[in-house]
Amino acid sequence: MESCARVAARLPEYVADELTRGTEGRLAGHLTECADCRKKASGHLRVLDALRTLPQVAPPADLRSAVMQRILADPLPSRGRSSRGRLRIVRTLLWTTPLMLLGGVGGAGAALVFGKAWDRPGVLDPTLLPDWIENLGKLAFSFLLDVATRAEIPFLPSTPSTSIPWQGLALLVAFALAVLGAAGLGLLMTARVLASAADR
């Protein structure tokens, strides 16, 4: 049999029919034998009945119009179309960005394959990267020096080709073109989404 302390803790739920059948049955069994708990249960039932009869008040008829007047004087900006459009842009960017990356990697790979660079292991050697950067820096410096000393823009191909890894440079250019191409494709698709959102 349940103890009085445990029963007392569940009496509010018992009178409100919030207990499971099993628990309710155990409490009911206790209440048939315990006058104190029965008295408490009837007290809780009285509270519940009283709460159900709590007087209500009616709001005045002009409350709604007073609120709407304030709202209409300064309404929120509509975010329907622009928010849907922005959401589409985000979704578009989420899948165009990997597309751009894949495009860039694919473009570089295609340049390597078509350039038959596999036969030139030196081109893909990452340890040559510092040399590439150094040579590009030298090229830029000599170009600027020529401009400063001759006061004219020299023709770039006059620079000795042996100082620059042209094959690597071509690969970089191909890679950059591939990335730009993929980015351009993404921008075009984004613009299409914007245009279709504006049309609706």
Residues forming the site for other proteins (CB under 8 A): 9, 12, 40, 43-44, 46-60, 63-64, 66-68, 70-72, 75-76, 78-80, 83
Q: How far is the CB of 64 from other proteins (least distance, A)?
A: 5
Query: Read out DSSP for 84-126?
Result: HHHHHHHHHHHHHHHHHHHHHHHHHHHHHHHTTGGG-GGGG-G
Residue 76 DSSP class: P
φ, ψ for residue 9, nearest 5 deg = -70, -25
Between 73 and 94, name the residue whose CB sits nearer to other proteins: 73
Q: How far is the CB of 22 from other proteins (least distance, A)?
A: 19
- Helix spans in 115-164 (H): 129-150
Q: How far is the CB of 112 from other proteins (least distance, A)?
A: 49
Between 1 and 51, name the residue whose CB sits nearer to other proteins: 51
Between 38 and 120, name the residue whose CB sits nearer to other proteins: 38
Between 47 and 140, name the residue whose CB sits nearer to other proteins: 47
